[in-house]
Amino acid sequence: MSDSVIANFDVNGRSREVLVKPYHTLLEILREDLGLTGTKHGCELGECGACTVLVDGLPQLSCLLLPHQVEGKEITTIEGLAEGDELHPLQEAFVEAGAVQCGYCTPSMLLTAKALLEGDPSPSRQEIAEALSGNLCRCTGYEAITRAVELAATRMDT
């Protein structure tokens, strides 16, 4: 492990110190070192969005980030979205709107939508579509996902 380095960052509110290969991506570290497999492994080329996590509150592609780029940062993965047994309003809305089919894109959609609604509590359809445009879904046609984000926005805004 002589080529390993210690990385420090916060994941879902918990401070983590991990011995990692400096050339491993944040996606690999989350899934393989920390066992957080909710972050999905897709293209590894920055094209599908499946690996999206929040870094200091903003959506980032974890397949393109190396440990030194997230040193000291706050990372949120899908495992950090619910509060205990209580689903986040976006998670409830996705279930209700039928926005989850195979579920492969769902963690990335939810986290991207969370960041969107934190910046703009009542986005237009167009703004939702633009925010989610980097996240590919092979199943839903996006309509149900867009409706779910609108539904969650309505509830979170009240």
Name the site residues for ligand FES (rule: CB under 6 A).
41-44, 46-51, 61, 63, 100-106, 137-140
2 versus 39: smaller Cβ distance to ligand FES: 39
**C-beta of residue 51 within 8 angstroms of C-beta of residue 29:** no
Q: Which is nearer to ligand FES, 2 or 53 (CB)?
A: 53
Q: How far is the CB of 66 from ligand FES (least distance, A)?
A: 13
Nearer residue to ligand FES within complex by CB, 122 or 130: 130
| Least distance CB 61 / ligand FES (angstroms) | 5
Is-contact 123 117, C-beta < 8 A? yes
Q: What is the DSSP letter of 106?
A: H
Q: Rounded to whole angstroms, how far apart are CA atoms 30 and 51?
A: 10
Q: Name which of 105 and 153 has its Cβ closer to ligand FES.
A: 105
CB of 43 to ligand FES, least distance (A): 4
Q: How far apart are CA 45 and CA 30, in angstroms?
A: 17
* Residues linked to residue 17 through DSSP beta bridges, in sequence order: 8
Report which secondary-structure segment, H or E, holds 62. Answer: none
